[in-house]
Amino acid sequence: MLRRIGKASTRRIYPSLVIRRRVAVRGHVQGVFFRETTRRRALAAGIAGWVSNRPDGTVEAVFEGEREGVEHLVAFAREGPRGARVDWVDVVSEEPEALEGFEIR
């Protein structure tokens, strides 16, 4: 379950350490454990957010946390797990929402 913390308190603790990226991944990315692999990597890296299959066949995810961990997950999204074929990735920077935890939606 995701939980939001007040934005003001988060900014006081780590003013610019937390970043947020939304990714949309196209290709053969559903049915290849993309979401579960992403979840495991996010938890191992201490990254919050979520990952979801979309009706159009893409995988969408939000990664929020320290820059290094978030960028590592964005790089993983560009390659995907074994069995995936990533054709295109769209990455958008967003304002962090102080999420906690990581879930498959």
Which residue range(s) make up the domain with 64?
Answer: 7-104
pLDDT band at 10 (very low <50, low <70, confident <90, very high): very low
Greatest extent of the chain over all pairs of C-alpha atoms, in Å: 42
- The pLDDT, as a whole number, for residue 15 is 52
Answer yes or no: is 2 within a domain. Answer: no
- How many independent structural domains does the chain possess? 1
Answer yes or no: is 1 within a domain. Answer: no
Answer yes or no: is 57 within a domain. Answer: yes
pLDDT band at 1 (very low <50, low <70, confident <90, very high): low
Q: Is 28 exposed, middle or buried (0-12, 13-18, 19+ CB in 10 A)?
A: middle
Answer yes or no: is 41 within a domain. Answer: yes
Residue of 20, 35, 39, 41 marked catalytic:
35
33-90 per-position pLDDT tens digit: 999 999 999 999 999 999 999 999 999 999 999 999 999 999 999 999 999 999 999 9
Q: Which residues contact 59 (CB under 8 A, 6 or more apart)?
A: 24, 25, 29, 30, 34, 35, 38, 51, 52, 53, 77
Residue 53 known to be catalytic: yes
Query: For residue 77, what is the domain's CATH number?
Result: 3.30.70.100
- Gap between the Cα atoms of 50 and 101, Å rounded: 8
Answer yes or no: is 67 within a domain. Answer: yes
Residue of 3, 4, 39, 53 marked catalytic:
53
Answer yes or no: is 12 within a domain. Answer: yes
How far, in Å, are 12, 34, 45, 51 from residue 104 at the CA level? 29, 10, 16, 5
The count of other CB atoms within 10 Å of the CB of residue 102 is 26
Section 16-40 average pLDDT: 95
Answer yes or no: is 72 within a domain. Answer: yes
